[in-house]
Structure 1
Amino acid sequence: MNIPCRASLLCAVLPILHGCIPVANAATAPVPAAAPVFEQWRETSHRGSDDLMTAGLGLEGLRASAPPAFAKPTAEQARRRAIWSSWRGIADLTPGGGFGEIYGTFQPAPGREFSAYGRIPGARQPHRVLVQIPDNFDPARRCLVATASSGSRGIYGAISVAGSWGLAHGCAVAYTDKGAGSDYYDLDAGIGFQADGTPAADGTLAFVPAKGSAAHGVAFKHAHSGDNPEADWGLHLVQAVQFGLQALDRAFPQSAPFTPANTRTLGVGVSNGGGAVLRAAEIEGDWFDAMVAGEPNVSVAGAPPLYDFVTQAALLMPCALLAIDDLPQPPAQAQTRPAGIQRCAVLASIGQVQGADTEAQARSAWQQLANAGLSEPALRAAAFSTGFDLWQAIAATYASAYGGYAAGNHPCGYTFAAAGPDGRPGIATPEVRAAWWSDASGIPPGNGVTLLYDDHALPAADPLPGLSCLRSLWTHDGAGAERVRAGIARAAANPPRPGLPIVVIHGIDDGLVPISLTSDRYVPQARAAGARIAYWRVANAQHFDSLLAFPDYRKRYVPLLPYLFAAMDQVWNHLEDPAQPLPQDALITPTPRAEAPLQPAQLSLPAASRR
């Protein structure tokens, strides 16, 4: 269902597309450049009516349903709105949800920001790096939290996790958009975004795509950079650390140099950001003292990549969900059921499901997903992604990224275009285009950009040809499939370096990055290689904390972010005092809050304890 983001709940949820998709190899872990050169340095101050944590919006401003308004944004306005969007896309900010009360903080943090472009060796496009240094940073107790945006979000995409925890602890916080982000480019107008987040037709833009044979519409970095950013997530995060140390040298020249040896560094991330944490953990060098990875998108050797699951889900899940009762809403089952019935019939006609009626066909589709490793709770939670057709957008984006395709050259004919209020493709207005950097999720559709197949806006009358093509890039042969599979192989994870404390946290009901296909596979393989990992599996937790804004979701699920904050606290206590224990494995069984305010006891947070 293609719903224009500005008029729908998707403007709160598309920003949290926590991507997917890998397979494994046994490549040697990369070694980062010793001293990367960062370009387009900027330093800004944020005090008084502005701050690092909420851009001066505070809790009430973040909870506001309408974004901070602008027409032709200044850099300050673009930043404030990007921070508003990033908080709302990731965290449950509803009254009674617990953020700022029993976990996390909105406490203002005055200070400075340093930002620049970094570049992975050999990359065609730069990635953004940014460091927030609070005024209460103490060079005598120097600490740095390094993070990567979740999903494909922009540079502030992890502020509600790493920023909230790190700034509250007086640490500098280093961010990377890991080669994706919201630096969209209007191919028709020739307009992209500058280092300060404002649109421009020239200058040193964050992303200027190579143009394919049919380059019209909108290009965005994750799909069209040509760099397969997922393959370098770990290097992106290490470069964030390197930039953070250089920024601290500039901020406190009398206390320089800041190095990994004299600055305590904690890596943390959620979803794709969690995957970046685990990829960085494998890189040579003592860049980190500890790592915390939440619901990580990570692949392992010898197992199918998440792209395999995503393309199966795109095809089968509308039908399979008819075999599941009591699905969470939204989307409303009455609205999605007709499309599911139609999908079952079409799949049956081409032999992809069996059965003489819809009920049998739905069971057949459900069984195929179960055989792929998806549990029924995860399938139930995936109703949201299915109802809003996120699987197709994710698969189309990642196929383009893995294959390094230029805008207009997608192997399955997908393109992206500006969309009017009715969802039809057209020309972007200056007002819509100006908001992309602040609002966009990094994966259209949404925010005035639509996904097209064969030059038609989706949902198309017949989605099967496009979905089947995306699926064939994994299951069949041919030049396009080989190119995409080679990119998938480059994104595979290697074991972390020995001795590095790592905590992996994952919701058992995760329907977007299923635990059975990611963390359940990664942790045993990492341990077999000697990794030092604690593994927290959280019942009644799905992928999107922000969905707890809907009553039916908070009756079923708990937020996952409290467990990241608890893990960071326990790891930090150990780093401060080695006599304090590191986190240990835990199977956590919390209780959703429903309509009552969340209480600490409902979360069943694991207490630090020695083995």
Structure 2
Amino acid sequence: MFTSPRSSEHRGSDDLLTAGLGLDGLRSATPPAFAEAANPTPAELRRRAIWTNWRGIADLAPGGGYGDLYGSVAAVPGREFSAYAKVPGASQPHRVLVQLPDAFDASKPCVLVAPSSGSRGVYGAIAVAGAWGLPKGCAVAYTDKGAGTDYYDLDRQSGARADGTIGALGEVDDLAFVPDAPVNASGVAFKHAHSKDNPEADWGRHVRQAAEFALKTLNEHVPRPGGFDFGNTRIVAVGISNGGGAVLRAAELDGDWLDAVVAAEPSVYTEGRGSRAIYDYTTEAALLMPCALLDAPNLPQPPLTAQLQAMAALRCASLSQAGLIEGVDTAAQAASAHAHLRANGWTEEALRAGALSVAFDMWRAVAVAYASAYGRYQLDEHPCGFSYAMVGAGGAAHAATAAERAAWWADASGIPPGAGVNIVARPSKDADAAFADLRCLRGLWDGQGADADRVRKGVAETRAALPRKGLPVVVLHGTDDGLIPQAFTSLPYVAQAQAAGRDVRYWQVRNAQHFDAFLGLPDYGARYVPMLPYVYRALDRVSAYLDGKGRLPEDATIATTPRGAGKALTSDHLAMPK
């Protein structure tokens, strides 16, 4: 099950939790440097990947509370063990990695299993699980769940190795991802979109394999009479966003291998009760939200700059001409788009926070990659003509340089755009250049034909079932989440599970959106509270319950208070459940 094993020690100036960077190093806007840009060492890549993933998840800005009000960046000495794992039927592996602190207590063994959020690499959940578990002496098992940052350079036929360094096809035997590519293909491939495995359908099994790798690691490296197994080792799965969806999928698997689950802002799709697939509401938002936000008051700033407002007005005109909205002028068209989204379940809070996803082109980025994944398409088969390549400042695609290629594994956050890799669309002379392609993407959900059937089949494979009877599950979600709206995801999941008598508890956090990392933007920090403190508190409550020292939390709507402009976050703002 596990191949290409690696191990390393991390003590002194290179610990498990921050790679020796500490809070000041994580806060630095400058990433840890490579001595040779084109040939970074595995240790340099690891340190930079940890820096990238901390900054992509946590609010580390001064005044945001991390490190003093909640969370830990304490140096944790220990060892790391990593490998590739592959679920039955998959063509490509996923990465698994176990961090084993020196303080691990073999007499009271605990393991947190943490799938990455989004499509991040294997360190993607370090700020979620590592920050809580490692200082407490728990081992932490991570998985990139078949996504990750193992980009493949089609021009040079090379990709990431087990240690993150670059290797060429035919010259090394441990490449993390080799796509099924046509002859003379050019550009960049990445696993989530191009594995042809639809990895999201197997995210629960990826989590299970990470737990199995943790037990294997403990049995090989920690002395204990009788060894470690699911019966004598506490296993708690925790994740946010896509990672939250992954641990909920793990919760439905047979067997008593899991002791508890904590899922925050989960991307989860169920049957009925208002649940919508991420591909459905993402493609809807990509089309309508730019226009609709012109009718939405009190948007957080940035992102609706003058340039984005001009683009939004063009989108209103495109939608009107296509007969998708009504109105004779931009204001009326924006009101119509706004009304359409509200009628389809979007709340005003989700729309306001969704402005961030419009500004960063996240809706299109998700739709392009997920269409490819759900349809199990080969590189040159995308039904809407999209591909990926290195794109320069002028917008022209080019072959990656050795230095650009070397940094992908550490710098990328998963789905492009990022680390210089961008989406390449078909040429368009339209003023609203993206509109036709976005309609194509939307048509794969609500249209007809073989491609639409193919994508919808892939989406159906991701539908979640009920958690196992008796398994404690705590679900958390921000009421203002604009990327994974709770109305389409956690609310219907919890309602279905509770109606079936499953042990699911639900915290709804007022004034919390999806991205803690963006709370460093002044207006976002003033309006919104972070989600990570509630994840850590839920883990505290679950741990106490499993120790027989407390009860599981009750359902709660947490009445937080935004801190306002220029103020530091305090415990009063968080209104943390006791």
Fold conserved (TM > 0.5)? yes
1:57 match: 21
- Secondary structure of 1:206's counterpart equals coil
Please list every run of 5 or more consecutive structure 1 residues that lacks an aligned counterpart in the other structure. 1-36
| Aligned-partner Cα distance in 1 for 2:461–2:91 | 17
Q: 2:164 aligns with which of 174, 194, 197?
A: 197
| Aligned-partner Cα distance in 2 for 1:369–1:150 | 26
- Secondary structure of 1:521's counterpart equals helix
Q: 1:170 aligns with which of 137, 157, 161?
A: 137
Deviations 1:504-545 (Å, cap 9, x if unpaired)?
000000000001010111001111222101100011000000
Q: 2:413 aligns with which of 441, 453, 456?
A: 441
1:288 match: 258
Q: 1:94 aligns with which of 61, 65, 89?
A: 61
Deviations 1:224-252 (Å, cap 9, x if unpaired)?
00100100010000111000000111111
2:373 match: 401
2:318 match: 346
Which stretch has the larger CA shift, 245-254 or 444-453?
245-254
- Secondary structure of 1:60's counterpart equals helix
| Aligned-partner Cα distance in 2 for 1:455–1:346 | 17
Deviations 1:83-121 (Å, cap 9, x if unpaired)?
000000000001121111121100000000000000010
| Aligned-partner Cα distance in 2 for 1:48–1:161 | 23
Aligned-pair CA distance for 1:460 = 8.2
Which stretch has the larger CA shift, 440-449 or 484-493?
440-449
| Aligned-partner Cα distance in 1 for 2:556–2:196 | 40
- Secondary structure of 2:477's counterpart equals strand
Q: Is 1:392 aligned to 2:369, yes or no?
A: no
Give yes or no for contact 2:526–2:567 (8 Å, CA) kept in 1.
Answer: no
Aligned-pair CA distance for 1:196 = 0.3
Higher relative contact order, structure no. (Cα contacts within 8 Å, ≥ 6 residues apart):
1
Alignment of 1:371-382 (within 5 A): 371-382=343-354
- Secondary structure of 1:132's counterpart equals strand
TM-score of the two chains, using structure 1 as the length reference = 0.91
Aligned residue identity for 1:225: S
| Aligned-partner Cα distance in 2 for 1:332–1:511 | 15
| Aligned-partner Cα distance in 2 for 1:393–1:108 | 36
Give yes or no for contact 1:445–1:451 (8 Å, CA) kept in 2.
Answer: yes
Q: Is 1:41 aligned to 2:5, yes or no?
A: yes
Deviations 1:151-197 (Å, cap 9, x if unpaired)?
00000000001000010110000000000000000101111000001
Aligned-pair CA distance for 1:256 = 5.0
Aligned residue identity for 1:247: T
- Secondary structure of 2:390's counterpart equals strand
| Aligned-partner Cα distance in 2 for 1:544–1:459 | 33
1:297 match: 267
1:246 match: 216
Aligned residue identity for 1:549: G
Aligned-pair CA distance for 1:200 = 1.1
1:130 match: 97
Q: Over aligned residues, Cα RMSD in angstroms?
A: 1.4
Give yes or no for contact 1:423–1:450 (8 Å, CA) kept in 2.
Answer: no
Give yes or no for contact 1:402–1:484 (8 Å, CA) kept in 2.
Answer: yes
TM-score of the two chains, using structure 2 as the length reference = 0.97
| Aligned-partner Cα distance in 2 for 1:68–1:256 | 43
1:416 match: 388
Cα distance change of structure 1 residues 66 and 422 upon mapping to structure 2, 3 Å threshold: farther
1:258 match: 228
Give yes or no for contact 1:146–1:265 (8 Å, CA) kept in 2.
Answer: yes
1:80 match: 47
2:492 match: 521
| Aligned-partner Cα distance in 2 for 1:293–1:90 | 15
Cα distance change of structure 1 residues 68 and 427 upon mapping to structure 2, 3 Å threshold: same
Aligned-pair CA distance for 1:212 = 4.2
| Aligned-partner Cα distance in 2 for 1:430–1:423 | 20
Q: 2:542 aligns with which of 571, 583, 598?
A: 571
- Secondary structure of 1:408's counterpart equals helix
Give yes or no for contact 1:309–1:372 (8 Å, CA) kept in 2.
Answer: no
Q: Is 1:531 aligned to 2:502, yes or no?
A: yes
Aligned-pair CA distance for 1:593 = 2.1
Q: 1:222 aligns with which of 184, 188, 192?
A: 192
| Aligned-partner Cα distance in 2 for 1:315–1:191 | 36
Cα distance change of structure 1 residues 212 and 298 upon mapping to structure 2, 3 Å threshold: farther
Q: 1:493 aligns with which of 453, 464, 481?
A: 464
Q: Is 1:269 aligned to 2:239, yes or no?
A: yes
Deviations 1:108-159 (Å, cap 9, x if unpaired)?
0000000000001010000000000000001001000001000000000000
Cα distance change of structure 1 residues 591 and 47 upon mapping to structure 2, 3 Å threshold: same
Give yes or no for contact 2:271–2:463 (8 Å, CA) kept in 1.
Answer: yes
1:159 match: 126
| Aligned-partner Cα distance in 1 for 2:2–2:280 | 36
1:5 match: none
- Secondary structure of 1:569's counterpart equals helix
| Aligned-partner Cα distance in 2 for 1:411–1:334 | 33
2:568 match: 597
Aligned-pair CA distance for 1:347 = 0.8
Aligned residue identity for 2:14: D
Deviations 1:359-392 (Å, cap 9, x if unpaired)?
1111111111111111011001000111221111
Deviations 1:390-412 (Å, cap 9, x if unpaired)?
11110010000001111121111
Aligned-pair CA distance for 1:214 = 7.6
Give yes or no for contact 1:555–1:593 (8 Å, CA) kept in 2.
Answer: yes
Aligned residue identity for 2:464: A
| Aligned-partner Cα distance in 1 for 2:225–2:46 | 29
Q: 2:74 aligns with which of 107, 112, 115?
A: 107
| Aligned-partner Cα distance in 1 for 2:321–2:430 | 20
2:287 match: 315
Aligned residue identity for 1:80: R
| Aligned-partner Cα distance in 1 for 2:157–2:392 | 19
Alignment of 1:178-197 (within 5 A): 178-197=145-164
1:117 match: 84
Aligned residue identity for 1:314: A
Give yes or no for contact 2:311–2:432 (8 Å, CA) kept in 1.
Answer: no
| Aligned-partner Cα distance in 2 for 1:219–1:154 | 15
1:33 match: none
Cα distance change of structure 1 residues 416 and 460 upon mapping to structure 2, 3 Å threshold: farther
Aligned residues: 569
Deviations 1:406-461 (Å, cap 9, x if unpaired)?
112111110001122333211111111111100101111121111011267x9985
- Secondary structure of 1:542's counterpart equals coil
Aligned residue identity for 1:199: I
Give yes or no for contact 1:453–1:460 (8 Å, CA) kept in 2.
Answer: no
Please list every run of 5 or more consecutive structure 2 residues that lacks an aligned counterpart in the other structure. none
Give yes or no for contact 2:367–2:441 (8 Å, CA) kept in 1.
Answer: yes
Q: Is 1:149 aligned to 2:120, yes or no?
A: no
